[in-house]
Amino acid sequence: MRLTVWTYDGPPHVGAMRVVTAMRGVHYVLHAPQGDTYADLLFTMIERRDRRPPVTYTTFKASDLGADTAALFKETARAAYERFRPQAMIVSPSCTGELIQDDPGGLAKALDLPVPVIPLHLNSYQRKENWGAAETFHALVRGCCRGRTYEPKPAGARPTANILGPAALGFRHRDDQVEVRRLLGLLGIDVAVTAPWEASPADLARLPEADFNVVLYPEVADTAAKWLSRTFRQPFTRTIPIGLNATRDFLREAAELAGVDPAPALAAVEAEARMPWYSASVDSTYLTGKRVFIFGDATHAIAAARVASEELGFEVCGIGTYGREFARDVRAAAERLSLEALITDDMLEVEEAIAAARPELVLGTQMERHIAKRLGLPCAVISAPVHVQDHPARFAPQMGIEGANVIFDTWVHPLMMGLEEHLLTMFRDDPEFHDEAAPSHLGPAAPAPVAEDTADAALAWAADAEQELKKIPFFVRGKARRNTERFAADHGLSTITIETLYDAKAHFGR
Amino acid sequence: MTPFDRADPAPPATGCADTPPVLRERGQHAVFCGLTGIIWLHRKMRDAFFLIVGSRTCAHLMQSAAGVMIFAEPRFATAILEEQDLAGLADANDELDRVVDRLLARRPDVKTLFLVGSCPSEVIKIDLARAAQRLSRRHLPTTRVLAYSGSGIETTFTEGEDACLASLVPEMPATKAGSLLVIGSLPDMVEDQFARLFAAMGLEDTAFLPAREAFALPAVGPGTRVLMAQPFLAATAKALEDRGAVVLSAPYPFGAEGTEAWLRAGAEALGVSPDHITAAIAPGKARAAKALASAREKLAGRSVFFFPDSQLEIPLARFLAREMGMRLIEVGTPYLHRRHMAAEMALLPDGVTLSEGQDVDRQLDRARAARPDLTVCGLGLANPLEAEGLATKWSIELVFSPIHGFEHAADLAELFTRPLTRRALLAHAQDQSTRGPEPCASS
């Protein structure tokens, strides 16, 4: 048993729901007790979908357990087929359904429905949401491509690719696939099928016709892409086009797979991208070396680390993921940054790591947003799970050229703008700007500032040094305190004087 | 004569109590399980902690239902069952003891710990009642450990509160004194309003279950008169009857009419004279009547369709029909307890269809065919129905908001007027923009 208040991942059948809800013409019959329909509202409320997820629940109750839950399943599956007439169905037990040991696959087979029925084995007590999504997508692709064979394409045909991975309830999946379709268009590559996003089973059956696959989210599409690669000799892209450097690499990779020249597309990146100039402009100078802590799913965490260090000039001071399936990739990314990756799904551990790393910006999920709020740190969201506000009405991809523009705005916004920082320092002795003054919009009842903790209890601050420290603007004071204490410890000093403060400043000055 | 009296026609002919046509359905239920009751119960009982023994699905449900509350150090958590817990029952108990010890060491302020059963824990038959006894022996007198089931296989949404309160009843001290006990968790503000009204009638020692501190439970005995503030408390009522208490029959305190009848039932059972009651409630009743008048203009004549959710549907439909003049098409309830609903059914207008249980797809077909002006339903159905052109009111808000009593009667009505007002506003604005600006009146 594991004591849990919150979870980064839902159970695996929610992953299955994310795949079928993204698709058209597939229906999911879930052998589940009353109450599991709660998951519907993730799609209707958080993602604001205008229709119910294509899921029917058997809704068994305690009184059914002594009787025939298997018959209930068959009845429900038949009725769901009659009502929705899908092109294909998937069936599985939810976590409680696993315990009562009916076999939805076998029972559905006995119904002899005129469409493919694909059984899922989701291991609810071992696996989680993303795994469930990947497994479901893989099972559907296999089921729909049954009987297909590899056929070489006629010479001279335009290159084609499938886009794999965008699912319901994905972080910016809706807009990412639009932006990536545009990138492929710049290369002269046609998109054959995008899946699971708005794809039907008939579309999945056409997957083998494309030259290669573009994997946007390995968490959802890696298993299926590997199977397609084994079965139909379809290679797939490994670069996730988040950030401009990654977008350029992606264009080169896709161009090579398609046998086309990437130069025109790369030129378009230079012509259209605003992010490099924004990042180079003098107002961004204060971003240099800002310490950033990154946590999320593996794909977004790795991509964010690259953008932060290569394109915004941040210092990555921590990186981690809750997705154990891709922990190895995050460890490798951490190693490149001389860090040790944090692999955990325990929010308290993440909170401890963030507090210890003392970042100036946190990039994470909705959990990290709340941690950052508690610690008084700026934060931006880079990965699921997210609340409703991160399924925005406006076009807001993370991938490609526009994605880089979105990322620049989103990450920089919570940090104080350079001019603001400069003015605050200049005016810090004015009555409005001294550091106990509350922001004017909060009125007189603003909360008291959070007490600063001292890293080392053995170090004492002389009173005048403490006074001097208070003159430093509050948003850099933590760093000054930390640096001074480290300097004092390194030099064997037990009392910190004004001299020590300025010695440390000279030592660490940037 | 109050404005309310003028607006209210003669009560419609009633007949539901005699020949209640109830449609019973079995099929997919689009409802929450009883675990969700924890969300409001833990806010009410400040010294209590709720530990669900369940799966990742249970934790995910609580997270989805609790929204941002999950980040405010809530007093609930899930002990997630893992593969090894399914293997043998003996170590499931050891594991549970370990989790509880760790939890109580971290939260020494917890005085009542509820072990809450879920579908997985019920199916693999972890005996939480015995675990609670064992853990109580270990942690009393600091912490009392109780158990109940909030599983979906046994409980629907608000029935989780019923199961929780029923588990408290055997712990209540005994008394022979005569007093009033109000059952059902109410927002503190509402509880205070009722306490003041009863005090004004001379009933100073009216008790509430749950109390704000669960450890200090009210007493119960043959002199206790139980007034149900919520309709979904059948098991709790039964447990109190087993302790000798008498459960009163009354409509539920929604709207001016329901609140008056409810207060009267409670006070009269304790021997308060009708005149005394009338005097005590007069100001609140007049305020409610005045506040409800404008809502009635917006709702009168409109039709409403209730999907089952909380068991509050019948009392709320009664309020909307009798005080707001709405037409009832279908009133669904997850469970219809005839005895505790008798006073309400007697007030329902003729011709209403009651439904108990659910086959959600068939019920959606009926709603689509009836095209009600307002559909009361859960969050999984609301946006899809809005997209089909039906105005909806999401029902969970009715459980979380203060809606009981005189002072909140208009707030209750507003929950139903707001979606209609919004719809009218947006349609009007759209209409304006397609027609262009209004011509100037003077030209």
The pLDDT tens digits for A208-250 are 999 999 999 999 999 999 999 999 999 999 999 999 999 999 9
B77 vs A3: CB contact, 8 Å cut-off?
yes
Q: Is A346 helix (H, G, I), strand (E, B) or coil?
A: coil
**Tokens matching residue A171:** 């972080």
| Two structure tokens written together for A420 | 């603001």
C-alpha angle A397-A401-A407 in degrees, rounded to nearest 5? 55
Identify the weakest region by mean pLDDT among A176-180, A338-342, A466-470, B436-440. Answer: B436-440
- All residues of chain A having their beta carbon less than 8 Å from the beta carbon of residue B82 are 1-2, 125-126
Residues B46, B132: one domain? yes
Q: Give the DSSP per-residue string, B223-274.
A: TEEEEESSTT-HHHHHHHHHTT-EEPP---S-HHHHHHHHHHHHHHHTT--H
Return the residue in A36, A37, A43, A124 with the most chain B beta carbons within 10 A, the one to mutate for interface testing.
A37
CA distance B182 to B191: 9
**CATH class of the structural domain A276-421:** alpha beta
Enumerate the residues of chain B whose CB falls inside 8 A of the CB of residue A39: 60-61, 64
CATH tag for A12-144 (out of 3.40.50.12780, 3.40.640.10, 3.40.50.720, 3.40.50.1980)? 3.40.50.1980
Q: Are residues B148 and B208 in the same domain?
A: no
Q: Which tokens hold the place of A482? A: 């930390």
Q: Which of these three, B249, B267, B283, is where a domain ends? A: B283
Contacts with A, B 99-158, CB within 8 Å: 99, 102-103, 119-120, 122-124, 151-154, 156
Q: Decide if A33 and B151 are in contact by the 8 Å CB cutoff.
A: yes
pLDDT value for A101:
84
- Give the residue among A329, A274, A342, A269 at the shortest CA–CA distance from A299: A329
For residue B231, say if its preceding peptide bond is cis, omega within 30 degrees of 0.
Answer: no
C-alpha distance across the termini of chain B, in Å: 46
For residues B231 and B249, state if they share a domain. Answer: yes
- Given B262, B283, B304, the domain boundary residue is B283
Tell me the Ramachandran region of residue A101: left when phi exceeds 0, alpha when psi lies from -120 to 50, beta otherwise. left
Residue B160 inside a domain? The answer is: no
pLDDT at residue A155 greater than cutoff 70: yes
Cβ neighbours around B10 below 10 Å, total: 5
The pLDDT score that the predictor gives to residue B96 is 94
Residue that is last in its domain, among B119, B153, B187: B153
pLDDT attached to residue B281: 96
pLDDT category, B65, cuts 50, 70, 90? Answer: confident
Alpha carbon B99 to its chain centroid, in Å, reads 31
B240/B368 same-domain check: no
| C-alpha closest to that of B113 among B214, B1, B203 | B214
Q: H-helix or E-strand containing A314?
A: none
Task: Answer yes or no: is pLDDT of B9 > 60.
Answer: no
Whether B200 has a pLDDT exceeding 70, the answer reads yes
DSSP state of A217: -
Which residues 345-404 of A are in CB contact (within 8 Å) with B?
Answer: 367, 370, 387
Structural contact between residues B114 and B146, judged by C-beta atoms closer than 8 angstroms: yes
* d(C-alpha A195, C-alpha B138), whole Å: 55
Q: Is the peptide bond before B3 cis (omega within 30 degrees of 0)?
A: no
Q: Residue A343 and residue A354: Cα distance in Å, rounded? A: 13
What pLDDT is attached to residue A99?
93
Please give, rounded to a whole number of angstroms, the shortest distance from the CA of A478 to a CA of chain B.
Answer: 25
Instruction: Domain count for chain B, please give it.
Output: 3
Q: How far apart are the first and last CA of chain A?
A: 48
The band of B21, judged by pLDDT with boundaries at 50, 70 and 90, is: confident
Task: State the nearest Cα–Cα gap between A128 and chain B, in angstroms.
Answer: 8
B356, with CB counted inside 10 A (0-12, 13-18, 19+), is middle
| Average pLDDT taken over every residue of chain A | 90
Instruction: Using the predicted structure, report yes or no on whether residue A422 has a pLDDT greater than 80.
Output: no
Interatomic CA distance for residues A7 and B62, integer angstroms:
10
What is the share, in percent, of chain A residues with pLDDT greater than 90? 72
Q: Which residue has the higher pLDDT, B144 or A429?
A: B144
Confidence of residue A429 (pLDDT cuts 50, 70, 90): low
pLDDT at B4 over 50: no
Per-residue pLDDT reduced to its tens digit, B140-170: 899 999 999 999 999 999 999 999 999 999 9
DSSP state, residue B146: E
Tell me: do B116 and B201 sit in the same domain: no
Q: Provide the shortest C-alpha distance from residue A51 to chain B (in Å).
A: 4
CB contact under 8 A, B64 and A41: yes
**Above 70 in pLDDT, residue A287?**
yes
Asked if residue A440 has pLDDT above 70, the reply is no
Cβ separation of A60 and B153 shorter than 8 Å?
A: yes
In a domain? residue B2: no
Strand-strand pairing, A2-4 and B76-80? antiparallel
At B15, the pLDDT band (50, 70, 90 cuts) reads very low
Task: Say if residue A171's pLDDT is above 60.
Answer: yes
Within a domain: residue B3?
no
Six-digit token string for A103: 């076999």
E strand or H helix that includes residue B435: helix B409-435
- Is residue B184 predicted with pLDDT exceeding 60? yes
Alpha carbons A378 and A380: distance in angstroms, whole number: 7
In this structure, which amino acid lies at residue A336? R
- pLDDT classification of A482: cutoffs 50, 70, 90: confident
* CATH of residue B235: 3.40.50.1980
* A125 → closest Cβ in B64, B78, B81: B81
B33 labelled binding-site residue: yes
A9: contact with B, CB 8 A cutoff: yes
pLDDT reported for residue B85: 87
Whether the predicted pLDDT of B332 surpasses 80: yes
Beta-ladder partners of A57: A30
| A449-464 core/surface letters (b: 16 or more CB in 10 A; e: else) | eeeeeeeeeebebeee
Is B369 part of a structural domain of the chain? yes
Report yes or no on B163 lying in a domain: no
Of the residues A4, A27, A130, the best mutation for testing chain B's interface (the one with the most B CB atoms within 10 Å of its CB) is A4
User: Do B315 and B418 fall into the same domain?
Assistant: yes
In this structure, the answer to whether residues B277 and B323 fall within a common structural domain is no
Of A112-116, A133-137, B2-6, B120-124, give the lowest mean pLDDT range: B2-6
Do B322 and B202 lie in one domain? The reply is no
Report the top-level CATH class of A454-508: mainly alpha
- Contact present, B249 and B264 (Cβ < 8 Å): no
**Does residue B101 share a domain with residue B53?**
yes
The pLDDT confidence band at residue B91, using thresholds 50, 70 and 90, is confident
**DSSP conformation class of A354:** H
d(CA B96, CA A223): 36
Contacts of A125 in chain B (CB under 8 A): 55, 81-83, 85-86
Interface test with A, best of B29, B49, B57 (most A CBs within 10 A): B57
A68 labelled ligand-binding: no
CA–CA dist A3, B51 (Å, integer): 9
B71 vs A6: CB contact, 8 Å cut-off?
Answer: yes
Q: What is the pLDDT of residue B182?
A: 98
pLDDT band at B277 (very low <50, low <70, confident <90, very high): very high
Local confidence band at A188 (pLDDT 50, 70, 90 cut-offs): very high
Amino acid B128 reads L
Asked if residue B365 and residue B255 are part of one domain, the reply reads no
Task: Specify the pLDDT at position B10.
Answer: 42
Higher pLDDT, A89 or A499: A89
> For residue B144, what are the β-bridge partners?
B112
Helix axes B89-106, B128-139, angle to 10 degrees: 40
Instruction: Provide the residue range defining the domain that includes B184.
Output: 172-283
Q: B436 vs chain A: nearest CA distance in angstroms? A: 26
Question: With contacts defined as CB-CB under 8 Å, which chain B residues touch A9?
Answer: 56
Mean pLDDT confidence for A270-299: 94
Confidence of residue B442 (pLDDT cuts 50, 70, 90): very low
**8 A C-beta contact, residue A341 and residue A330:** yes
Is residue B236 domain-shared with residue B143, that is, in the same domain? no
Task: For chain A, give every residue range classified as CATH 3.40.50.1980.
Answer: 12-144, 160-272, 276-421
Other C-beta atoms lying within 10 Å of the C-beta of residue B211? 18
What pLDDT score was predicted for residue B320? 98
Interface list for A 15-44 with B (CB within 8 A) = 33-42, 44
Residue A510 has a pLDDT of 45
Per-residue pLDDT, B74: 86
Q: What is the DSSP code string of B289-336? A: HHHHHHHHHHHTT-EEEE--SSS-HHHHHHHHHHTT-PEEEEEEES--
**B5 pLDDT above the threshold of 50:** no
The segment(s) of chain A belonging to CATH 1.10.8.550 are 454-508
As given in the structure block, the two tokens for residue A253 are: 């990779």
Task: Tell me the catalytic residues of A.
Answer: 283
d(CA A305, CA A339): 11
Q: In chain B, which residue's Cα lies nearest the Cα of A7?
A: B60
| Lowest mean pLDDT, pick from A453-457, A463-467, B265-269 | A453-457
For residue A450, name the pLDDT band (cuts at 50, 70, 90). very low
Least confident of A253-267, A356-370, A461-475, B94-108: A461-475
Q: Which of B25, B28, B396 to mutate to test the interface with A (most CBs of A within 10 A)?
A: B28
- Whether the pLDDT of residue A177 is over 80: the answer is yes
Q: Per-residue pLDDT for A348 more than 90?
A: no
- How close, in Å, is residue A357 to chain B by CA atoms? 21
Site of tokens 């509202």: A41
Query: Can you give the pLDDT at residue A417?
Result: 58
Return the pLDDT at A398: 98
Assess whether B269 and B324 both reside in one domain: no
- How confident is the model at residue B351, as a pLDDT? 85
What is the gyration radius of the CA atoms in chain B, in angstroms? 23
Distance between B122 CA and the closest CA of chain A, angstroms: 9
Check A62 against B78: CB less than 8 A apart.
no
Question: Vertex B357, ends B355 and B362: CA angle to 5°?
Answer: 75
**pLDDT at A274 > cutoff 80:** yes
Q: Is the pLDDT of residue A116 over 60?
A: yes
Helix (H) or strand (E) holding A317: strand A315-321
What are the beta bridge partners of residue B356? B24, B333
A68-82, A449-463, B44-58, range with the lowest pLDDT: A449-463
Give the chain B residue nearest A9 (alpha carbons).
B60
Closest CB to A96: pick one of B29, B71, B120.
B120
Q: Residue B409 above 60 pLDDT?
A: yes
Which of 59-78 (B) contact A at CB < 8 A?
59-61, 63-65, 68, 70-71, 74, 76-78
Give the mean model confidence (pLDDT) for residues B387-401.
93
**Does the annotation flag A228 for ligand binding?**
no
With a CB-CB cutoff of 8 Å, which residues 432-491 of chain A face chain B? none
Omega within 30 of 0 (cis) for the link into B283: no
Say yes or no for a CB contact (<8 Å) between A95 and B57.
yes
User: pLDDT value at position A68?
Assistant: 86
Q: How far is CA B251 from the centre of its chain?
A: 14
Give the per-residue pLDDT at B443: 37
* Residues in chain B within 8 Å Cβ distance of A348: none
Q: For the domain A160-272, what is the CATH code?
A: 3.40.50.1980
To the nearest whole number, what is the mean pLDDT of chain B?
Answer: 91
Q: Cβ–Cβ contacts within 10 Å for residue B431, how many?
A: 9
From the CA of B138, how many Å to the nearest CA of chain A?
20
